[in-house]
Amino acid sequence: MLRSVSTFFQRRNAFYVSLLLVPPLLWLGTVYLGSLFTLLSQSFYAIDEFTARVVPTLTLATYRQLVTQPANVDIVVRTLLMAVAVTIACAVIAFPVANYMARYAGSKMKALFYVGVMLPMWFSYLVKVYAWRLILAKQGIVSWAFTSLGLQGALDALLATPVVGGPSLASSYIGMFIVFVYMWLPFMILPLAASLERVPASLLQASADLGARPAQTFRNVVVPLALPGLAAGSIFTFSLTLGDYIIPSVVGAPGYFVGMMVYQQQGTAGNMPLAAAFSVVPIVLIALYLTFARRLGAFDAL
Amino acid sequence: MTAAIELQDASRAFGAVVALDRVSLAIAPGEFFALLGPSGSGKTTCLRLIAGFDRPDSGRILLEGEDVTDIPPYDRNLNTVFQDYALFPHMTVAENVAYGPRVRGVAAEERRRRAGEMLELVRLGSYGDRRPAQLSGGQRQRVALARALINSPKVLLLDEPLGALDLKLREEMQAELKGLQQRLGITFVFVTHDQGEALSMADRVAVFSQGRIEQLDTPRGLYTRPRTAFVANFVGSANVVLGPAAERLTGRSRPFAIRPELIEVLPAGATPAEGTIACSGTLEDVLYHGASSRCHVRLDKATLLAVSRAESAAGAPLPPQGSRVQLAWRPESMVHLEAG
């Protein structure tokens, strides 16, 4: 009986595959893509100024509002700059760690590193964000450490930097940047380590054998071959920063970010079209970023 | 004359495993030298020490008389063809070949010209724009050769260069490598586990076993005068007859080796030629190899001997399996081995 069932599936491969794929595809197609499409269509609706009701007639007024009001443009630029800075910092910090994990660590050390990198992801996101607010606060451990080491002046100078500085780390963009980098670093390290592990050691030896110094081997062989991992990791760090609304509302300067704007417009303000238009911003930026990464050849080695 | 490469008492251990045990050897300039041995015998470790990918725990490595033990690979005037070819997948064939000059700061125009010349040398002139993934195994091997030769090294190291190729391609590449080495006149050192390859290509062969050199000799010397049972067995599979059996056959207990093709098979009743050593046994099986046949004969004195008989050999055809036969060989065909 069982045998005839398996024979049946074996002979009708297409039927078997579709049986497996239809439920998830239905979910993805209707629930996920459907709601995304509904959201996007909302951004083309207008809102009645007096009744605050959504008027279902197609208009570009919301987008006009998004790109012409300086406050809204500021929010988009601020979010974008933060996402770029966080992505670059994550890449710079993650590369040596990932390279060590992939190439130099023994099996025990490697396991330790993988656990160490993933461990913070097992704890509540909110707990970590609030913990960072305390760590970075005016009377927090960071400022205490600076003072005990007699480096109070250095911290004050850092906080005196225009725009990114502030009264304390917890209420400056520098602090927000630190928390973002901390939060998304594992998402950069893991894909990067995976792609570095796939680079055969013989390629590095061949490069040295042909006369390349370690820095040249790194630039000409390691980085190009790690690009797919770097691209994957940066998609995480970039898009997670673009969409996040909790970190900017708990840590950092009072300026709005895209995620906060979406949250506020669809919640308290009840302006669904503007919230929808703001949520289109990360999608567009990530699409642009992917096109850019593709141009650079980040996916050639895939 | 200064040796192109010299190892002095080089040792290397990985944990408890001794990969190389106080090995000394000198390779002459322009020599085609083979490091032969089964896997784990130390031949690849030896090559890696010469290339500089690994450092000896003790001992020294000299290139043209200069101590390079502590010099990294990028400052050694030699190049390597890797077993897996190690072509850079993100570069075209021409970029791969031009990599050496590129990292040494040669101008783009000049290195393009030289890469083109090297690709002509390995008969891949029109393949410069392809990616390594678009080439066959034999073509990749030739790209690896061109890339290693573009820096005009004094020494070319080859790590199992033909291991990944099929038989026909392997034979072609053997001839090509040999021709290339004679044309360029540089020292070739190649690692192989294939004794046929070592014998047919090398000027001299070092046979490795358990981290030591068992014998270092010309191919003919290794084949006709193996010093130990290991070499006799590994190079061209001789019959190795040990103590007790040797005593029963020759009256002396010293172990000896004899090549299968130097033993004559005679019918049971025939008279062996004057001065030969003869013994009788049973023909157990016959394996047909085309140019020759290989027979296994169980001697009455309890030893199994392999006999190779050329198909073109004169005389009566082989008797059927299971029949009684006589074997005969000249005493000078036996090679006495070192005990142990």
The tokens of A133 are what? 């607010």
Q: Which residue has the tokens 């009788």?
A: B280
Q: What angle do CA B136, B139, B140 make, to 5 degrees?
A: 85
Which of B47, B53, B81, B92 to mutate to test binding with chain A, by most A CBs within 10 Å of its CB? Answer: B53
pLDDT of the residue at A302: 53
Do residues B189 and B259 both lie within one domain? no
Closest CA to A286 of A248, A227, A240: A240
Please answer yes or no on whether B103 and A220 come within 8 Å at the CB atom. Answer: yes
Asked if B90 and A208 come within 8 Å (Cβ–Cβ), the reply is: no
Between CA A153 and CA A89 the distance in angstroms is 24
The pLDDT of residue B237: 77
Same domain, residue pair B210 and B272: no
For A72-295, which CATH superfamily applies? MetI-like (1.10.3720.10)
- Residue B312 has a pLDDT of 67
Residue B232 lies in a domain: no
Do B153 and B244 fall into the same domain?
Answer: no
Give mean pLDDT, residues A21-32.
88
In-domain check, residue B50: yes
In one letter, which amino acid is A135?
I
A170-185 pLDDT tens trace: 889 999 999 999 999 9
Q: Which chain B residue has its CA at the smallest distance from A211's CA? A: B74
Measure the CA–CA gap between B28 and B1, rounded to whole angstroms: 8
Inside any domain, residue B310:
yes
**For B74, which of A211, A225, A300 is closest by C-beta distance?**
A211
Closest residue on chain A to B74 (Cα): A211
Residue B233 lies in a domain: no
Confidence of residue A121 (pLDDT cuts 50, 70, 90): confident
Q: Which candidate in B82, B83, B149, B151 is best for mutational testing of the A interface (most A CBs within 10 A)?
A: B82
- CATH for B303: 2.40.50.140
Alpha-helical (H) ranges within A69-124 are: 70-99, 107-118
Count of A-B CB contacts under 8 Å: 66
- On whether both B91 and B207 belong to a single domain, the answer is yes
Q: Tell me the average pLDDT across A112-141.
A: 91
Structure tokens at A239: 């898009």
Q: Domain of B293?
A: 239-336
Q: B296 and B244: one domain?
A: yes
Verify that B287 and B141 share a domain, yes or no.
no
Identify the CATH number of the domain in which residue B179 sits. Answer: 3.40.50.300
- Are B256 and B175 within one domain? no
For A52-67, how does the pLDDT look when each residue is reduced to its tens digit (9 = 90+)? 778 778 888 888 888 8
Environment class of residue B143 by beta-carbon count within 10 Å: exposed (0-12), middle (13-18) or buried (19+)? buried
Last residue of a domain, one of B198, B226, B254: B226
One domain, residues B76 and B168:
yes
Percent of chain A at pLDDT exceeding 70:
98
Least confident range from A41-45, A231-235, B7-11, B272-276: namely B272-276
Q: What is the DSSP pairing of strand B187-192 with strand B32-36?
A: parallel
Of B226, B250, B269, the residue that ends a domain is B226
**How many domains does chain B fold into?**
2
Residue B231 lies in a domain: no
Chain A interface disruption, residue of B54, B79, B84, B88, most A CBs within 10 A? B88
**Over 80: is that where the pLDDT of B132 sits?**
yes
The structure's pTM equals 0.80
Whether B175 and B284 share a structural domain: no
Chain B residues inside the 8 Å CB shell of A210: 74, 79, 99-100, 103, 147-148, 151
Pair (B196, B244) in one structural domain: no
